[in-house]
Amino acid sequence: MTHLQAGLSSETTEKARLELNENPDTLHQDIQQVRDMIVTRPDIGFLRTDDDFILRFLRARKFDQIETFRLLAQYFQFRQQNLDMFQSFKVDDPGIKRALMDGFPGVLETPDQHGRKILILFASNWDQNRNSFIDILRAILLSLEVLIENPDLQINGFILIIDWSNFSFKQASKLTPNILKLAIEGLQDSFPARFGGIHFVNQPWYIHAMYTIIKPFLKDKTRKRIFLHGNNLNSLHQLIQPECLPSEFGGTLPPYDMGIWARTLLGPEYNDETDLCSLPLSPSLSLSLSVPSAGVPGPGAVYR
């Protein structure tokens, strides 16, 4: 075991070997071979290339070095092409802070039975007069940046549950193909996270229609990991044990506290009595194609 695997249990190290093709004897060589490919893309500013950072991309692509480099390039290219999304990319940005405090996303403290971190979204909580979809996406991406620092989650991955209860047709009409495609590019194509499952529960017919629209943009592997449960929580429990779920999803855990993850990220900045309506709603963010001249990716990044 190298220092890059320090802190991992023997079980997790073995899982990385069996499922991700991770070999401690060739780990540094694998990382360097990916790093050596950077010169082939002078059009992209690779703002971080240290061992720990590249390793999470290798794990996300099961140590296929070509696919790893493609993901690494897409990670930075997405940020360059959508520069406005990553200005003030930090927890105290008003738009991100508001989304976090409204529960976008929720992050359960208890992992599932496979060690995967469970993210939840209660779609009907989206107040479109207060949160732009872009700010919600930014809050999700920032949360993933924080979570993916954990090597266990790089290996075990994530589960996403979206509860569509009481999500109105009017709300759904704001989910245009363009912004859905942007979310897919940001989460599926440009981030080093292993999503073991995306679960829709209580979805109405118009969410089925939306899914039909976005299907062509999804990779086959992603499509196979999307499960439409409707109101059948038993089918959800066949994949995620009830002991890992809050009562909203028929689980044995207490009801989800929407403020847990926000408190974790915001710390002293979190205030239950904050007048969220006083926070300015971010304007619609354009998809700028300008390239950042400087910046550091990650939770504290500010691209200028």
- Listed in sequence order, the residues at least 6 apart from 229 whose beta carbon sits closer than 8 Å to its beta carbon are 199, 200, 201, 235, 236
Element (H, E) at 28: helix 27-36
- Give the residue from 249, 81, 270 showing the smallest Cα distance to 160: 249
Contact 264, 299 (CB under 8 A): no
Residue 75 sits in the same domain as residue 100: no
pLDDT tens digits, one per residue of 139-157:
999 999 999 999 999 999 9
Per the structure, how many domains does the chain have? 2
Instruction: Reply yes or no on whether the pLDDT at 291 is more than 70.
Output: no
Query: Which of 25, 51, 81 lies at the terminal end of a domain, its last residue?
Result: 81
Q: What is the mean pLDDT of residues 165-187?
A: 93
C-alpha 223: how far from chain center? 17
Residue 154 sits in the same domain as residue 257: yes
Q: Does a structural domain hold residue 280? A: no
Query: Which of 16, 49, 81 lies at the terminal end of a domain, its last residue?
Result: 81
| H-helix segments, 102-204 | 133-147, 151-156, 169-172, 177-184
Residue 117 sits in the same domain as residue 68: no
297 half-sphere exposure, CB direction, 13 A CA radius: 24
Residue 126 sits in the same domain as residue 165: yes
Tell me how far apart the alpha carbons of residues 107 and 160 are, in angstroms, rounded to a whole number: 9
Here the tokens at position 47 are 């703002």
Note down the domain range covering 49.
3-81
Residue 193 sits in the same domain as residue 132: yes
CATH code for position 125: 3.40.525.10
Instruction: Reply yes or no on whether the pLDDT at 300 is more than 50.
Output: no
CA torsion through residues 141, 59, 297, 214, sign: negative
Residue 121 sits in the same domain as residue 41: no
Q: Does a structural domain hold residue 296? A: no
Tell me how far apart the alpha carbons of residues 181 and 291 are, in angstroms, rounded to a whole number: 21
pLDDT range class, residue 101, cuts 50, 70, 90 = very high
